[in-house]
Structure 1
Amino acid sequence: MNWISFEQLYDSIQKHPKKVFIDFYADWCVPCKRMDKEVFTHPQVKAMLNNDYYAVKMNVESPDTIRFGEQTFINERLNRRNPVHQIVLLMARRKNRPFS
């Protein structure tokens, strides 16, 4: 898979717009590991995602600051029991509205 970062995504979309596939995962997530092993290695899935989408992979508990264009996202919940990153929460709440 040709995974890219959110920062790379912003630049790529500006140059060549296409759909985006985001795989949010956690290190402890068993189904996520299974997806990595069984789905993302499948030749047809890899070809489709690599050709038709920008594929972004992100750990939902990442402490990293993410810059997407002029927007900055941080993990405000890092020291909490459920340290889900701000960008994940934002996308989960958007209810079919475009993200820009």
Structure 2
Amino acid sequence: MGAIALGTTLLVLIACWFWWQFISDMRSPGSHKLSRRAVVLNKSSPIVGSSGNLHTEYFVSFTFMDGREPEEENYKVPGRDFNLLDKNDVVDVLFNGKDYLGFNRVSDSA
């Protein structure tokens, strides 16, 4: 009888732990990082902000090859990433929804 109660308690605790993990993930959508394999298609020239804004924006076009059809998307990237990426590099692009988070290089110049 005690073994059944102990086993049931253990199962309930495990179920609660999994439920808590699920709820925690739902509350922090920024924690969901997705990765997609892509080829760097093009790098735009840096776009300097208006006269009162010294902020420079960098854009990179990626061709995602993980679907049936190649899919091109543009992302605003930080300057450090812009300088590290070259045309035709194969990378895993990390993003959260539509927000670019970074990349992992797979190979140079496919």
Q: If the length of structure 2 is used for normalisation, what is the TM-score? A: 0.24
* Structure showing the higher helix proportion among its residues: 1
Higher relative contact order (CA 8 A, sep 6+): 1
* Structure showing the higher strand proportion among its residues: 2
Q: If the length of structure 1 is used for normalisation, what is the TM-score? A: 0.25
If you compute each CA radius of gyration, which structure gives the higher value, 1 or 2? 2
